[in-house]
Amino acid sequence: IAGITQAPTSQILAAGRRMTLRCTQDMRHNAMYWYRQDLGLGLRLIHYSNTAGTTGKGEVPDGYSVSRANTDDFPLTLASAVPSQTSVYFCASSVGGYTFGSGTRLTVV
Amino acid sequence: GQNIDQPTEMTATEGAIVQINCTYQTSGFNGLFWYQQHAGEAPTFLSYNVLDGLEEKGRFSSFLSRSKGYSYLLLKELQMKDSASYLCAVDAGNNRKLIWGLGTSLAVNP
């Protein structure tokens, strides 16, 4: 692993299903973030974590949850997916500037 | 409130110079970032300014005026591969959560 790894790369999900997007970093950064990016709306922060064991809500947290059991992993869970959660999801970590994962393209149908 | 403004789209010609502006109004300021994002890819770091003035890095330069709440990214000797979205982001001192502009989509034509 070099940097941030996200999985899956893309997914088509039936509405109402539960899904976890995975994010792992090997840079030992304390701060991690989940963003969604939608055309015309830019990057919007969903949840963040300043250090292992702590999480916080961003601009658009409804319908999403996160956990931070250790420094490296920061999974994002959609408890019951809805079509409005169709988006590209980016995980990022930070020590100053941000390093982004390659993204997960999620389509909820 | 917190706000970042940048033009939505710009067009330039291969070999030319283009300047992408960013103005910001934030409650605090710990630095300004520029990121490049090619279509279908993740944003990648280009530059960071915390003090007034020009920072040069190869074909790319970034300028900051804190008193004016203004920055620009200057791209010289444009290449086709510079066609991308350029995102301006400010660290307003809120636990390292950046405030993002919507991005400027730059098209470089032959």
Please give the full DSSP string across A8-41, using - where no structure is assigned: -SEEEE-TT--EEEEEEESS--SEEEEEEEETTT
For range B87-101, the mean pLDDT: 88
Q: What is the pLDDT of residue A95?
A: 82
Residue A18 has pLDDT above 60, yes or no: yes
- Give A50's contacts in chain B (Cβ within 8 Å): 95-96
Decide if pLDDT at B2 tops 90. Answer: no
Closest of B81, B91, B106 to residue B11, by C-alpha: B106
Write the residue in A40, A97, A100 that is nearest to B42 by C-beta: A100
- Distance from chain centroid for Cα A92: 8
Q: Do B42 and A41 touch (CB under 8 A)?
A: no
Mean pLDDT on A83-109: 95
For residue B66, give both structure tokens. 């804190």
Residues of chain B positioned with their CB less than 8 A from the CB of A99: 45
A40 with B102: Cβ contact below 8 A = yes
Instruction: State how far the Cα of A73 lies from the Cα of A19, in Å rounded to an integer.
Output: 16
Distance CA B17, CA B88 (A): 19
Provide long-range contacts, Cβ within 8 A and 24+ apart, for A20-24: A20/A75, A20/A76, A20/A77, A20/A78, A21/A75, A21/A76, A21/A77, A21/A78, A21/A89, A21/A91, A21/A104, A21/A106, A22/A73, A22/A75, A23/A73, A23/A74, A23/A75, A23/A76, A23/A91, A23/A101, A24/A72, A24/A73, A24/A74
Q: What is the pLDDT of residues B15-49, one digit of tens each?
A: 999 999 999 999 999 999 999 999 999 999 999 99
State residue A49's pLDDT score.
96
Higher pLDDT residue, B5 or B97? B5
Q: Is the pLDDT of residue A2 over 80?
A: no
Which residues of B lie closer than 8 Å to A, measured between beta carbons? 33, 35, 41-45, 48, 87, 89, 95-98, 100-103
What is the model's pLDDT at position B42? 96
Cis bond leading into A8, ω under 30°? yes
Mean pLDDT computed over B63-86: 98
Paired strand residues for B45:
B35
Look-up: residue for tokens 């809805």? A82
User: Residue A44: its pLDDT value, please?
Assistant: 95
Q: What percent of chain A has pLDDT over 70?
A: 98
Task: Give the model's pLDDT for residue B95.
Answer: 73
Q: CB A94 to CB B95 under 8 A?
A: no
Q: Give CA–CA dist B47/B62, Å, rounded.
A: 7
Contact check, Cβ <8 Å, A42/B103: yes
Residues of A engaging B, defined by a Cβ cutoff of 8 Å:
31, 33, 40-43, 45, 48, 50, 56, 58, 90, 94, 96-103
Q: Between B44, B87, B95, which is nearest A50 by CB? A: B95
Residue B82 φ then ψ, to 5°: -80, -5
Binned at pLDDT 50, 70 and 90, residue B78 comes out as very high
The backbone torsions φ and ψ at residue A55, rounded to the nearest 5 degrees and listed phi first, read -140, 160
Q: What is the pLDDT of residue A93?
A: 95
Instruction: Place A1 in a pLDDT band, splitting at 50, 70 and 90.
Output: low
Mean pLDDT, range A53-80, rounded to an integer:
97
Task: Express each pLDDT in A41-59 by its tens digit.
Answer: 999 999 999 999 999 999 9
